[in-house]
Structure 1
């Protein structure tokens, strides 16, 4: 009955918006037409900490643990993409109750999707423009965004801590920003600074058996990867393969056991990577031999350090029998950061609005699923997501925490300008 009630709550949110759009004319569907994908959401909090748990079933047949791979092409003498591989991701935006963003309570993250964004018709010929909040009189300064990535943060035990800031329309905005660094990068291994290098260089020059081979900057430590510097599968060194076959050769458990790594981690307790330029020529020769055999390596490199970007801890589990992800994001109720929304108002009965999105189709950009906004509050607040008050979040019994089912829809290129114009007609 609880789930049925929550689905009814979602329908009540949808109907007024649909009516406004139908009255406005043949605009793109909002929410998009087509079947809904259910996302199970739970929340628990104690005196100092809040946790949000998300569960969903993938329809790909494998978990998205790998992201943006490169394989050495001996004929070309260069590193090529063997197949397009995108990680699974779950994220949500939440507004500051005391500095609300116009339209967010009714439309969620659609308020950050504008006509000039990448992939939108109005972006043709423009720069690289990503989600942002539209500036205006009485407009909120930002939205807090929690972003878990299956290949680029999950392996470290974090979710990416970001925020979406305000910009003017058609300003080529890079609206989504990572939270402040722990400090400027001070070494090549980035013991401080960005938590991620998206594009590790493939530029370590080495001559192997009279052949000039460029090696990646980072490879796996073979002691933590079944004796290999590159991805491994059932037959040892992994070669170019279909995405599903390659993805199914890896698991969270295998990485934890130090058998098959799926993400390069350069620093921190879970470090599993070697810095190639710092190695002996003898070891570089072994790396070159594997590269020439067609070795595959992730392009991103992860850096684990204490800092604002790592405020959100994350736990992940994948049930192969049901093909179901369970991801839990955990953070202090109040981090003290100006770019993080405080949840200390839960006990006082304050209700927060969340806009959620899911990438789970080996795609990026507009390939994600989106939801209408959902309310979050304590038990008895009438919120769609009821946050359970527990003595210790770390010991929470999630079987006793209320579950809300949020419907996700395939995203369509509908801008906030279209939605806002329809809503005001």
Structure 2
């Protein structure tokens, strides 16, 4: 009888020990930031956005509204520190710790020439090993590529469409330049409208871009350049004190975003003068790292206006329905139906740390999820109701994964079933997180299973021995 109590005590002890080990191992968790793997999960996995559209036969306008705790309107900055000018605002996983990195809204547009886009949205543009993904291609590898590095002068792997590759899962397997030209002429590209809170927004323009074999700007020049003299290791320009009231911003104002109403925050032809090294620079003096300028060519097609008020951004982007650039832009026609997908960056995030939508249909005098409102005159009145959209964090989901055997829904994709028919944004957000931590989740599951089996084995063994010795 005494041996029975000994074995029972041992069984209880083993049970508690195994249970404790199980509890400790699970408390370690796997959903932790991992800078080495470029993993950082936002606090909110979804964000509400509202969108509406209007057109007058010559121009089309889109308006967007979404919540943001504070506006982020300086992308990166140069700070005078210890007698040197240092750069702040470099891209990181998740939010930039100093609050640098501009807020943004972007919209992809297609006219049906990229059929997968109308069913799966921006996912179709996400290939393997893109910039800021775990295991992304290194700068030297991109620059060494005979086409992307040598011809297109790329230094990072960007979005691309599947048919621009001989193997859609292989970023490097680009089609011949002749084939790429054929695809572009056939309309196989995504038009990308991109409003930025710093690089263009303050001077009333958005960036007109395109996604085909790479993500790139349209022909022409962008709305910004860099305020840095590499040889002198200092800025090229500073604020004109006669117009701004100061030569530099205060670092504490940049950190808090607490600028006085009407304060000059950006460098452009009307606010800057050449940098004066003899100026009495003080510790913490800060200058924008970007210089704003009027864009040129096809890249200058989109006008924009943005305003942050009481926790919400409202941004309007406008463009000619027919820009005359059919190889860069999707041309809008009255009576047409188009596919769009919207994304935002907020909370000082960059690169892939954004929120995206599933594709949405847009109709100009045709039935669609968003009905563009016809109007007369130059400016829409915006009397129509908003269309509500739920944006979601996409994680590291990519097109090669979605079309592979590793994805249970790959067969549905092969049959052309739209993602909306079997997924909602909340599900996709959680799926995106699972993909980020797939290896860690599997490892944790195996550990939990092993400890659980050990627990049952230990208890069973102890009880069996106890009964034999009772």
User: What's the TM-score once normalised by structure 1's chain length?
Assistant: 0.71
Please identify which structure carries the higher helix content: 2
Map residues 1-400 of structure 1 onto 2, 5 A cutoff.
35-58=45-68, 60=69, 62-75=70-83, 77-81=84-88, 83=98, 85-97=100-112, 100-125=113-138, 126-127=141-142, 128-135=156-163, 141-166=188-213, 175-181=214-220, 193-197=221-225, 199-202=226-229, 215-225=234-244, 227-231=245-249, 238-240=250-252, 243=255, 245=256, 247-249=257-259, 254=262, 260-266=263-269, 271-276=270-275, 284-286=277-279, 289=280, 291-319=281-309, 322-337=310-325, 338-344=327-333, 347-348=334-335, 350-379=336-365, 381-394=366-379, 396-398=380-382, 400=383
Q: Does the Cα contact within 8 Å between 2:56 and 2:377 map onto a contact in 1?
A: yes
Gap change, CA 1:402 and 1:145, over 3 Å in 2? same
Q: Does the Cα contact within 8 Å between 2:65 and 2:313 map onto a contact in 1?
A: yes
Q: Distance in 2 between matches of 1:424 and 1:131?
A: 21
Q: Distance in 1 between matches of 2:137 and 2:188?
A: 27
Query: For 1:246-268, what per-residue CA distance to the aligned partner results, in whole angstroms no more than 9, with x for missing partners?
Result: x1225xx51xxxxx2222123xx
Q: Does the Cα contact within 8 Å between 1:45 and 1:388 map onto a contact in 2?
A: yes
Q: Does the Cα contact within 8 Å between 2:49 and 2:65 map onto a contact in 1?
A: yes
Q: Does the Cα contact within 8 Å between 2:85 and 2:234 map onto a contact in 1?
A: no
Query: For 1:231-279, what per-residue CA distance to the aligned partner results, in whole angstroms no more than 9, with x for missing partners?
Result: 1xxxxxx135673x2x1225xx51xxxxx2222123xxxx322233xxx
Q: Does the Cα contact within 8 Å between 2:111 and 2:337 map onto a contact in 1?
A: no
Gap change, CA 1:230 and 1:34, over 3 Å in 2? closer
CA drift of 1:34 comes to: 6.6
Q: Does the Cα contact within 8 Å between 2:298 and 2:328 map onto a contact in 1?
A: no
User: What's the TM-score once normalised by structure 2's chain length?
Assistant: 0.64
Gap change, CA 1:382 and 1:148, over 3 Å in 2? same
* Structure 1: runs of 5 or more not aligned: 1-31, 167-174, 182-192, 206-213, 232-237, 255-259, 277-282
RMSD: 2.5
Gap change, CA 1:272 and 1:204, over 3 Å in 2? farther
* Structure 2: runs of 5 or more not aligned: 1-41, 90-97, 143-155, 167-181, 412-470
Number of residue pairs matched by the alignment: 324
Q: Distance in 1 between matches of 2:396 and 2:78?
A: 30
Bigger CA radius of gyration: 2
Aligned to 2:429: none
Q: Distance in 2 between matches of 1:94 and 1:158?
A: 18
Instruction: Spell out structure 1 runs of 4+ moving beyond 4 A.
Output: 32-35, 136-140
CA drift of 1:284 comes to: 4.6
Please identify which structure carries the higher strand content: 1
